[in-house]
Structure 1
Amino acid sequence: MDEHSHASHDQPPLLELNETEILMWHDPDPPSYYEHDFGHLDPEHGGGPSYIGFLVLHIVSLTFAYFVFLPLAIALRGAKHPYHGPVNTTYLLLTLVGFLSGTLYKKLTPDLYENSAHGKMGTILLTASTLLSFVDVAPIAKRALSFVKSSDRSLSRLFNFVLLGKQSHGYDLVKEAESFSLQEHIDEQESFIPRDQTSEDWPDSAPHLHSPARESLTSDDHSEVTLHDGTHVPHTYPEERQHSQTLWKRILWISFLVSEHLLVVFGAIVTLSGMTNYVGICRGNYLPGCLAHVIKGSIFWFYGILSFARFCGAFSQVGWAWNTVYTAPGKRPPPSAEMVESFVVFLYGAMNTWMERFGSEPGSPYSTKEIQHISIAVMFWFAGLTGMALESNFVRRMLSKPALVQTGHPESEVPQPPSYRGSFNPFPAMCVGITGMAMSAHHQTYLFQVEIHALWGYMLAAFALFRFLTYFFLWLRPPTSPLPSRPPTEALASFCLACGGLTFILSTEEITYMAMRTGKDDMMMFLNLVVAIMCLNFTWVLIVLTIRGWAVGRMSRRTSTSKRIIDSA
């Protein structure tokens, strides 16, 4: 049975925990790593010497690796700052230390969580980190080999050349003049240019060179092929081949960027699984409800952090920072943030509609809980579909076509309303807000569970309210600048959403039982704890984005100086 079915909907919520009733629905809690490390277990129940030092090293090193140095490395990579190399190397070393210490702790401690997925998820995370690290490690290894073979093995050159990737021009000109050219100088300086995400942006790739020999080869392709093959090949073939290569490089670059950002998210998921393993929850028939709370709560949590990053100015290059973005004529504009939100809402609803019956007997009647959750999933499904349709330029044109035809003028001569400069799509926020209001009234067995569900439900509803206010004020005065507009209502919306997501996770059945058993079933304590954690999260997001802005500005000034030097040469 699930957590919402322990008591009839006709009975009022209970004030005190009924251990007898809990044992009617669930097995007794098995021993946990927490009880083992703090001496709460007898030897016959898994007790023994504690190796918590390895666990502390595991937690600290991986926390700094995936939530401190990896975000910094991503920020510095986006700015093409030379400090990206040392920061990324530190991240990889901490990852190695974390996984080795975790492996030692696991080998020295009895297995107190059978069929745990934490180890498998950690292996996937380590594998993904290793594969993605080749993009950065390969150039460093190449420079290290060059450093070993060179005559200058000073510490300054080791740091500047091997780690930072800077060339020592004095060394090259005096001792190895034949290996240095003006074009190499230009290539090095261009590698610091903070460009948009184009095909040229693959990390540590050489920029495209337009040498006379290459241009000559390109111009003679048609005559050479005709002479030797007797087959006519269009003169545009080299351009088509170059375009194909450019497209593939762009796809690889975008895939790499997305994968690197997802490492942070997956690292957070692995962290949550490690916490559940250590305290020994989410086992047996607790698992379905636990997964539902952790997965759905994490989605709202990450969604809130992403919304705050948008408020701070992230994704301004695609117009997601409540700003405008210029699109060249003939090019398709990037999808709006509301389009992405609507797609995620649609995908969640389409998948979850069918998953609510997992575990039910075939032909069994639908329970009240199943009808509640399936209805919410269907709302997400079709509200997301409606939101995507409203973000479609084709649908918008068709909706405006009757009014356009009535004017008797071509579309190019009819002025557009100022509100057309932005996207004011309320459906994603509406789904979140209605879900919050519905879950705040969700029946629970115990009063504390009712209160904590109401708490995160109100927070989700508050997010929707503040998002609607953001749309209202921006609809009155749409953004006209490419700079982030930072509407204050959006800062409040993102904070409420992230707090609601974390509270959602903490409303898991076993956590509420633990709180009631230890006298910690206090709503103010839970609220203050969640707010404190979210303030820490948001502060770190702000710091990372500030460092990225500093790095972009610094590299932009360096690029301008380099161009002036090259132009005067």
Structure 2
Amino acid sequence: MRYSGETHQAPDSRSNSNGAARYSFHSNNDNLIGKKVKKLNEGRNKLYVKVYNIPLVKKLSIHFNKIFSLLFNTLNYLILFYLFIHCGIGLAVGNLLGTPKNRVFNLLAHWIKGGVFVILGIVSLARYCGFGLNKSWGWNLSILKRSDYYNEITGRYNVPLWTKLFGKSGVNMEFIEVFLVFFYGSTNIFLEHLASEDGKWTAKDLQHVSIAFLYLGAGLCGLLVEFYMSDVKYKKGLEQYKQIIKETENRELSQEEIDDIIVANPGYSLNPLGPFTIFWTGILMSKHAQASPVSTAVHVQWGSLLSYGSPFRLLSMIYMLVFPAKEVGVAQRPFTEIISSFCLLSGGFIFMESTDQVIEAMEYRGYTEMFTFNISIGFITILMSWIIILFVCKDWLEKRQRN
């Protein structure tokens, strides 16, 4: 770029001219991009209007929009779970084709159960990074208002179905955890006997079934606790919201504004049954006698990791009590969740390794339990880094889109 009278300008005036030229260049570039985006939006909106003006489409969208939303969200999450299950089971069964069935079931048991804890660790870390903010899953205060769901076309309030089913406190992640614990225990009662060679119940089978009863009872207790905690969560969320309004806007919430709130959730539930179940699973399995010293040591590794991670989840709840949310819909990110996620991921991953086939391969090559332990810990930390990077990129893109 050239400057008029550059040889007669002082350095300060030159830098100012340079800055102005750069500003003008970027402004023109931004305007050009803005015009292109506006043109694309107008074309998209025109297409939406044409499709929506079709009488059949309009009737379907008005009368069945809730059903369509429910089907989409249900299938969306189920496809993700199916991917996890299909990859794990397919690889396990394909690896042992032609072998006795008890060896296949042994591998499947460790892969499925260990995989459950790996997925739970991924969800916990994602929750720390802000996953599920709109459902109060990201350790965030969630306030949903009826007026936000008003549809000007139909003149109705399209309140989500889950808010009607679960009341004013919504659905916490703790509720989903204890429900999965209950479901896991109810199915595990008969699955533990599949690896039996002669069909007879052994002491080992009964020991595994006792753990299934722990999951069944603890899961049911957790669901009942969530039922009793519903009003407590609503009151605590509403109390925090009133405090935020008082500090930021220097006023009190009116009764009309309070009546408009359909969900108030502090982002967590004081339900210790989930960590309690994982803690005792780790303790019981770390004391679980195995066929070889290497197998016993590996079980002690992942059992100890699971038991170590549970107290940090309780500390996360205490952290949220001591430091309540100062904003609505913003992730709190208690630092204890990083350690809890690491323990769940590492424990679940080593759990998957503790199957007979892996232990036999280790013993055949002369590897000790510390060899795979070091590799597993290193892999898990890299996986955690990758997950956090993905959420950092997601937050950056959302921030750029808003601006």
TM-score (norm 1): 0.50
Is the contact made by 2:107 and 2:356 (CA closer than 8 Å) also made in structure 1? yes
Q: Specify whether residues 187 and 312 from structure 1 end up closer, same or farther in structure 2 by C-alpha distance, changes over 3 A only.
A: same
Question: Which of 478, 481, 484 does residue 331 from structure 2 map onto?
Answer: 484
C-alpha distance in structure 2 between counterparts of 1:325 and 1:267, whole Å: 34
2:131 match: 314
C-alpha distance in structure 1 between counterparts of 2:366 and 2:335, whole Å: 38
Is the contact made by 1:419 and 1:475 (CA closer than 8 Å) also made in structure 2? no
The aligned runs of 1:24-423 (5 Å cut-off) are: 185-186=41-42, 188=44, 207=48, 242-262=61-81, 264-266=83-85, 268-269=87-88, 272-273=91-92, 276=95, 283-329=100-146, 332=163, 334-358=170-194, 366-392=201-227, 422-423=268-269
Letter in 2 for 1:289: N
Q: Pick the structure with greater CA Rg.
A: 1
- How far the C-alpha of 1:480 sits from its partner, in A, is 4.1
Question: Which of 259, 277, 294 does residue 448 from structure 1 map onto?
Answer: 294
- How far the C-alpha of 1:457 sits from its partner, in A, is 0.2
Q: Specify whether residues 552 and 517 from structure 1 end up closer, same or farther in structure 2 by C-alpha distance, changes over 3 A only.
A: same
Question: Which of 375, 397, 401 does residue 551 from structure 1 map onto?
Answer: 397
Question: Which of 425, 433, 452 does residue 279 from structure 2 map onto?
Answer: 433
> Cα deviations across residues 526-566 of structure 1 (Å, max 9, x unaligned)?
22111111112112211222222222223323xxxxxxxxx
Q: Specify whether residues 518 and 242 from structure 1 end up closer, same or farther in structure 2 by C-alpha distance, changes over 3 A only.
A: closer
C-alpha distance in structure 2 between counterparts of 1:319 and 1:548, whole Å: 18
The alignment of Structure 1 onto Structure 2 pairs a total of residues equal to 323
Letter in 2 for 1:541: I
Question: Which of 464, 487, 500 does residue 347 from structure 2 map onto?
Answer: 500
Q: Residue 321 of structure 1: SS of its match in structure 2?
A: coil
2:361 match: 514
**Which runs of 5 or more residues in structure 1 are unaligned?**
1-165, 171-181, 192-205, 219-237, 401-411, 413-417, 558-569
- How far the C-alpha of 1:253 sits from its partner, in A, is 2.8
C-alpha distance in structure 1 between counterparts of 2:79 and 2:399, whole Å: 23
**Which runs of 5 or more residues in structure 2 are unaligned?**
1-32, 148-158, 164-168, 236-257, 259-263
Letter in 2 for 1:248: I
Letter in 2 for 1:424: L
Q: Specify whether residues 421 and 338 from structure 1 end up closer, same or farther in structure 2 by C-alpha distance, changes over 3 A only.
A: closer
- How far the C-alpha of 1:249 sits from its partner, in A, is 2.9
1:57 match: none
C-alpha distance in structure 2 between counterparts of 1:396 and 1:370, whole Å: 41
> Cα deviations across residues 236-279 of structure 1 (Å, max 9, x unaligned)?
xx9986432312331243135324533652464267438835xx
C-alpha distance in structure 2 between counterparts of 1:375 and 1:263, whole Å: 28
Q: Residue 305 of structure 2: SS of its match in structure 1?
A: helix
2:13 match: none
Q: Specify whether residues 183 and 392 from structure 1 end up closer, same or farther in structure 2 by C-alpha distance, changes over 3 A only.
A: farther
Q: Residue 327 of structure 1: SS of its match in structure 2?
A: strand
Q: Specify whether residues 439 and 282 from structure 1 end up closer, same or farther in structure 2 by C-alpha distance, changes over 3 A only.
A: farther
C-alpha distance in structure 1 between counterparts of 2:60 and 2:78, whole Å: 27
- How far the C-alpha of 1:306 sits from its partner, in A, is 1.2
The percentage of counterpart residues that share the same residue type is 25
Bigger helix fraction: 2
C-alpha distance in structure 1 between counterparts of 2:99 and 2:379, whole Å: 22
Letter in 1 for 2:110: H
C-alpha distance in structure 1 between counterparts of 2:133 and 2:267, whole Å: 15
TM-score (norm 2): 0.69
